[in-house]
Amino acid sequence: MKRLLILVIVALVAWYGWNHRAVLTTKTPRHQAVIKNASGETLTRIRLTVGGQTHVKEELANGESATFSFAVNEDSKFELAWEYAANPNEGRWSGGGVTKGPMVARHQITIRPDRGVVYESTDLGAAGGR
């Protein structure tokens, strides 16, 4: 009886996979967000929110960058929050723009020494730069 149940489950999974193979194997283009630390200090608890998704990097040393890949279901903007390791002060920034598509882009967000942020966007095309 166990073998029959396992066989039925395997058959159902195979059937589902075969009938949904296009969705399961097609890679959709994704945006990239690159956060670069040019603040002169180590940053901690970096949180980037875009399109209802939050991406987290616990620590980012001066001169380093973190890259996040994401897709959005609607046009959105970025919300970035971070703390400085040397003191508990928090920095915040909101801005930029992400479109649903079909074009995707690389969004570079540079955190400057004066707590300012520089945002740049470069189109990757409809295929996500592939």
Which amino acid is located at 107 in the chain? H
- Over 70: is that where the pLDDT of 49 sits? yes
pTM of the predicted model as reported, rounded to 2 decimal places: 0.74
Is residue 107 a part of any domain in this protein? yes
Is residue 85 a part of any domain in this protein? yes
Please count the structural domains in the chain: 1
Is residue 25 a part of any domain in this protein? no
CATH of the domain at 46: 2.60.40.2890
Is residue 11 a part of any domain in this protein? no
- Over 60: is that where the pLDDT of 87 sits? yes
Given a contact cutoff of 8 angstroms between Cβ atoms, the answer to whether 72 and 114 are in contact is no
Is residue 13 a part of any domain in this protein? no
Is residue 15 a part of any domain in this protein? no
Q: Given pLDDT bands bounded at 50, 70 and 90, which one contains residue 130?
A: very low
Q: Give CA 90 to chain center in angstroms.
A: 21
Average pLDDT over residues 97-116: 89
DSSP summary character for residue 116? -
Phi, psi at 20, each rounded to 5°: -120, 25
Is residue 24 a part of any domain in this protein? no
- Over 80: is that where the pLDDT of 13 sits? yes
Is residue 2 a part of any domain in this protein? no
Which range of residues forms the domain containing residue 69? Answer: 30-125
